[in-house]
Chain A
Amino acid sequence: MADVDAPIAVGSQRRTVTRYSLRFVVLGYLAVLLAVPVGVVFYRSFRHGLGPVWSSLTTADARSAIYVTLIVAVAAVVLNTIFGVGAALLLVRKQFPGRRLLDVLVDLPQAVSPIVAGLALVLVYGKFGFFGGWLQRHGIQLIFSLPGMVMATAFVSLPLVVRAVAPVLAESGDEQEQAARTLGASGWQTFRRITLPSIRDALAYGVVLSLARSLGEYGAVTVVSGHVLGKTLTVTLFIDDRLENFDTTAAYSASALLALLAMASLLVSRRLRSRTRSVA
């Protein structure tokens, strides 16, 4: 890169000053906004060692919260994988009226307030919602129970899978799929043998992202959960609950746990993303 910079030697001293001051401003901003606050939480969680953290995360309520979170997150990710790939295939491979509208709508859950997403589900599936009466007659309760929380979580994290898979699908083209079909492969065979391998890394990337988002979802879940301690409380709701009860040790421990999970998923997703890039 040195040869590129060579003609700009004039006034290079001033450029160095600009460079360092820019670097200083940016790093300072990131430290104040990001690094120091996150550091403080970790420091306060672990300053008395692992013992208090462990015991506050193994109480019955905390264990239940972790368990509920895992169930909801895994179920939401499974739904997202199926429908996310479906939606991506639809967007990339098919031409139909309203495709462009769908393209914008797919992004909407990310722009919509999670509270609005939760409210929307309550309005449709709640006691007085559109399908509420029918569901109640058949003894199915979605809102204020796990299925509702799964739906809320899946709703907010769906775009992550679609947006990870769609570009790779577009890139790889459909020639191989057509070839497979002319050789007599069924639709499912084509998908499993041709399409799936080509989107594998991108799909894994989307899945990790949506898993991370699902583990940490708060707004949408808080509306539909009903907050039954030990029953429909996820870890994020548990943090909120502990803070309101001035149990800061548990709040710090649970926050540190979620933060560590977030960082782990970030590391995994970065690795996966660089792999998808090198393939494409």
Chain B
Amino acid sequence: MLIPLGAVVWKSQSGGFANAWDQVTAPQPFAALKMTLAISALVALFNLVMGTLIAWVLVRDDFAGKAVVEFLIDLPFALPTVVAGFVLLSLYGPSTPVHVNIAFTRLAIALALLFVTLPFVVRTVEPVLIELDRDMESAAASLGARPLLIARRIVLPNIVPAMLTGTGLAFARAIGEFGSVSLLSGNLPFHTEVSAVNIYNQVQSDNTVGAAAQSTVLLMIAFLVLFGLDVLKRRSARRG
């Protein structure tokens, strides 16, 4: 596992650092990279909000069919990414039954990424919410705190580490996503071509150095995110 990943970094530097830098900052790969990072960040932030809300509703609310929703949440993890892309394409693509055709736009990329990263925040926040001691909230309420104040001062501080972890994982996943995006985005250079697709095309056209260089950038970002989360985990564990 390490040798192959090391090989990617090594290959990217085989033409010297300057060459690798040129490969990454060439117009088309650079446009893809910038777009990927921007959309992934937006998607991760959206997940931060929606994922927390979903987790909250799943833990604190009760309604008929909750078990089905619980099941649905994990589906994006289990569903092959191509199938995920195809699923979205058939509802929001050219053959849409609801007259919403967003195929081959950046919105489609965001939609695909939202689909595949949905479970991350929900599944990291949910267990923390379950463990959360309700007595604190009751105490705050009996002292006259309004629900919004309780949410902000009592609940939020407790779940923030979990929220950040989920968001970071979702971001790392989003920047590398290929299968679902490639079906839905049309892969138009400079417009809807994401990094992973750009790398794939470079491999296909035998520019392995360029592909390796851009892969190295993605690898480094993913590693930094994971490392940051590890630090976060250790720090919050130490605090109790």
Contact = CB atoms under 8 A, between A and B. Distances in A.
A binds B: yes
A240 B82 contact: yes
Contacts of B48: none
A267 B70 CA distance: 11
Interface string A199-234: 000000000000010011111001100000000000
A273 to B, nearest CB: 10
A116 B54 CA distance: 32
Contact of A223 (B135, B176, B203): B203
A239 B86 contact: yes
A114 B76 contact: no
A14 B135 CA distance: 21
B82 A11 contact: no
A59 interface: no
A265 interface: yes
A13 to B, nearest CB: 12
B75 A263 contact: yes
Contacts of B146: 11
B80 A217 contact: yes
A31 to B, nearest CB: 9
A183 interface: no
B164 interface: no
B152 interface: no
Interface string A3-15: 0110110110011
A262 B79 contact: yes
A14 B215 CA distance: 51
A259 B86 CA distance: 11
A41 B141 contact: no
A217 to B, nearest CB: 7
Interface in A1-39: 4-5, 7-8, 10-11, 14-15, 18-19, 22-23, 25-27, 29-30, 33-38
B159 interface: no
A25 to B, nearest CB: 7
A113 B223 contact: no
The residue in B53, B78, B173 that gathers the most chain A C-beta atoms within 10 A of its C-beta is: B78
B87 A38 contact: yes
Nearest to B141: A8
A110 B170 CA distance: 11
A255 interface: yes
Contacts of B135: 4
A215 B176 CA distance: 19
B24 interface: no
A103 interface: yes
B211 to A, nearest CB: 6
Given A37-B88, A216-B79, A113 B196 contact: yes
A59 B151 CA distance: 57
Contacts of A36: 91
A118 to B, nearest CB: 8
Contacts of B69: 27, 30
B183 interface: yes
Contact of A22 (B3, B57, B173): B57
B200 A222 contact: yes
Contacts of A108: 5, 219, 222-223, 226
Contacts of A112: 5, 176, 218-219, 222
B218 A116 contact: yes
A255 B226 contact: no
A169 to B, nearest CB: 18
A111 B169 contact: yes
Contact of A120 (B7, B50, B82, B197): B7
18 contacts: A10-B141, A33-B111, A34-B72, A34-B76, A37-B90, A41-B83, A100-B230, A104-B223, A105-B2, A112-B5, A116-B196, A116-B199, A116-B219, A119-B208, A120-B8, A122-B208, A212-B78, A240-B183
Task: List the 3 closest pairs (A to B, CB-CB), nearest first.
Answer: A216-B80, A113-B176, A120-B4
